[in-house]
Amino acid sequence: MLTLKRIAIDMDEVIADFHFKHLNLYNKDFSETLTKEDLYGTRLWNIRPHISKEILAYVDDSIFFRDLAVIDGSQEVIKDLSEQYEIFIVTAAMEHPSSFTAKYEWLKEHFPFLTDRNFVFCGDKSIIRADYLIDDSPKNIERFIGQGLLFTAPHNIHETRYLRVNNWQEVKKLLLNDKSK
């Protein structure tokens, strides 16, 4: 029996556009005009520490994650990858337990070619055993045993320790041209 290599893929900022919605809600509620570029190298709650609780409260809303936009190219490339790899969507949902239902429904809607068995809701991603982890958070890649691929997001723009992929076309080029499977 042929054993496929595994790819673990983070949800927020890798396949779901978290920052777009978060920034828009913040700008609307606080009458600001911050842009994605304002978040280069940091997080929204770090540049407004005096209201960090209010900013973080958005993601504790049980429906916050339900209508996030899909990151361009993720659906098509993940479908292509699923023909040659085992794919697991891995999200640190324990950081915001109220997000479970919304994240699950979002995944079922936007990635119908994956089954429930392909979804992993966890806290610490270092427990995941896979060959690759595509994630926007250096802290998750740091403790990952396989090959980490840092997916570009505003907050990690200055990170240089890991192999970076800027978009899903780069992921496709890297992983679908890998002949060592």
Active site residues: 10, 12
Select from 173, 97, 135 the least CA-distant residue to 18.
Answer: 135
Q: How far apart are CA 59 and CA 96, in angstroms?
A: 7
Contacts for 34 with CB less than 8 Å, ≥ 6 apart: 23, 26, 27, 44, 47
Select from 54, 12, 13, 63 the least CA-distant residue to 32.
Answer: 54
**Residue 102, token pair as written in the block:** 């919304």
